[in-house]
Amino acid sequence: MSRILECQDVSKDYARGKLPVPVLKHVSFSVEQGEYIAIMGPSGSGKTTLMNLLGCLDVPTSGKYVLDGEEIGHLSDNRMADIRNQTLGFVFQNADLLPGLTALDNVALPLLYRGVRKKERRRMAAAVLEKVGLSDRMDFRSNQLSGGQCQRVAIARAIVGGPKLLLADEPTGALDSQSGRQVMELFRQLNEEGITIIMITHAPEIAAQAKKRFLIQDGVLQEEATMA
């Protein structure tokens, strides 16, 4: 396996008045392509800040973050946007679908930003909606879908461009237990197909489905256990 990302002594501070407040403290870890990792931590532990850094939505105060062979800390905003669109896929707690668009057009949206022609992006979007079990809901809008279906549309949108890394932030947090199980089964299938997944969760039963777990507390990240 080749390495998809590495954090080397990464710290992140935020200003509170004139004083810097450390949120992440000397985080060092790496992820190989094809791994499935869960990061657990209580509210205020720094896990969302870490996800923002991994997702190229922010940069470290100090240390080095290398994603797919490229150091992130000194890149332009345009290059960061390109990386988010081409290398990463995002799934959040709320599906955040655009209500005026059908499921198909929501999924196709990242391809529009890449300049993919309409016929091709709709073909690609239809293929991933079929993959997540929603081939019969392509023309439905979000208010016509259940919460679990909306989250599966969001996953389809995250993977339509073939990302190397899928970042999921509390992906089952807003779902009932049955819908949550369906989403987690979908993540398992995607990982078996080779997609690297990093998932943030506060739920031990969700984290247990990953193959490796980390615990973050007070901005310090530690590997908790290696799963079979």
Paired residues of 91 in beta bridges: 168
Report the distance separating Cα 53 and Cα 47, nearest Å. Answer: 10
Residues 200, 206, 212, 216, CA torsion sign = positive
pLDDT of residue 120: 96
pLDDT of residue 1: 66
DSSP letter assigned to residue 149: H
pLDDT of residue 151: 92
Report the distance separating Cα 120 and Cα 176, nearest Å. Answer: 34
Residues 83, 88, 90, 96, CA torsion sign = positive
Cβ neighbours of residue 40 under 8 Å, at least 6 residues apart?
Answer: 47, 200, 201, 202, 204, 207, 213, 214, 215, 216, 224
Q: Which residue has the tokens 């989403």?
A: 183
User: Phi and psi at residue 145, in whole multiples of 5°?
Assistant: -115, 150
Report the distance separating Cα 58 and Cα 79, nearest Å. Answer: 13
* Angle (CA) 218 201 171, round 5°: 145
Q: What is the pLDDT along the chain (228 residues), one digit of tens a residue?
A: 699 999 999 999 998 888 889 999 999 999 999 999 999 988 889 999 999 999 999 999 999 999 999 999 889 999 999 999 899 999 988 889 999 999 999 999 999 988 999 999 999 999 999 999 999 999 999 999 999 999 999 999 999 999 999 999 989 888 888 888 899 999 999 999 999 999 999 888 889 999 999 999 999 999 875 544
Report the distance separating Cα 228 and Cα 210, nearest Å. Answer: 9
Report the distance separating Cα 185 and Cα 74, nearest Å. Answer: 37
Q: Which residue has the tokens 């807003």?
A: 174
What are the DSSP calls for 174-223, one per residue? Answer: TS-HHHHHHHHHHHHHHHHTT-EEEEEES-HHHHTTSSEEEEEETTEEEE
pLDDT of residue 227: 45
pLDDT of residue 43: 85
pTM assigned to the model? 0.91
* Angle (CA) 172 175 179, round 5°: 90
